Amino acid sequence: MFVGTNVDDIIVLTVLFLSSRATGSPKVWQIWAGQYAGIAVLVSVSVIAALGLTILPDDWVGLLGLLPFALGVRSLVSAIRARNNGENHAPAVASNMISVAGVTIANGADNLSVYTPVFRTIGAGPTTVTIGVFAIGVAVWCLAGSWLGSHKKVIEVVEHHGRWIVPGVFMAIGALIVIESGVLRNIY
């Protein structure tokens, strides 16, 4: 789930590490700290939202999977339109820890639609484990972004295919939430 919802973030991290190597801004520690702060905000908001969803009957929680699925479809349509218009969207570059966190939050706001229903359906114990995995995932992502930030050919491949990978992952996550929740049985 972390990888799927943060594929686009690897592009941002790669650009940030490239910028750090080229200009010294942001500093490497600011990229790491900002990434952790941003992901912490996204996860915290998702957990709070999931707790608020306890009023929703368990039999219907799976319908929340339609949110990431719809975002994936919207992202796929945007990617097709951008390709047809010859557009190439470059991620924003931040210059300090606060702006790195802000970019992470803005870039990951769609993650809320995936994390919230998952946290709502898996319960407290598995949510805690998932958050621990996310903490490890942030470190892996920062290391990967740093490594990718030193390989221009790799950057081109990630930038080229990232716009297609992200929608596919979101649609798959949404479909899995709907299917595994059993909500389709309730509808039929």
Cα–Cα distance between 167 and 151 in angstroms, integer? 25
- Residue environment code for 33-71, b if the CB has 16+ CB neighbours within 10 A, otherwise e: bbbbbbbbbbbebbbebbeeeeeeeeeebbbbbbbbbeb
For residue 167, whether the previous peptide bond is cis, meaning omega lies within 30 degrees of 0, is no
CB-based burial of residue 136 (10 Å sphere; 0-12 exposed, 13-18 middle, 19+ buried)?
Answer: exposed
- Residue 75: CB atoms within 10 A of its CB come to 20
Query: Between these two residues, 88 and 72, which has the higher pLDDT value?
Result: 72
Q: Note the pLDDT tens digit of each residue in 139-184.
A: 999 999 999 888 777 666 656 676 676 677 668 777 877 787 777 7
Assign 92 a pLDDT band (cuts: 50, 70, 90). Answer: very low
Radius of gyration of the chain (CA): 17
Lowest mean pLDDT among 36-45, 50-59, 118-127, 134-143: 50-59
Which residues touch 76 (CB under 8 Å, ≥6 apart)?
A: 164, 167, 168, 171
User: In the structure encoding, which two tokens stand for residue 56, read together?
Assistant: 């929703």
Average pLDDT on 84-90 reads 67
Residue 93 has pLDDT above 70, yes or no: no
Structure tokens at 121: 């359906």
Extents of the domains making up the chain: 2-187
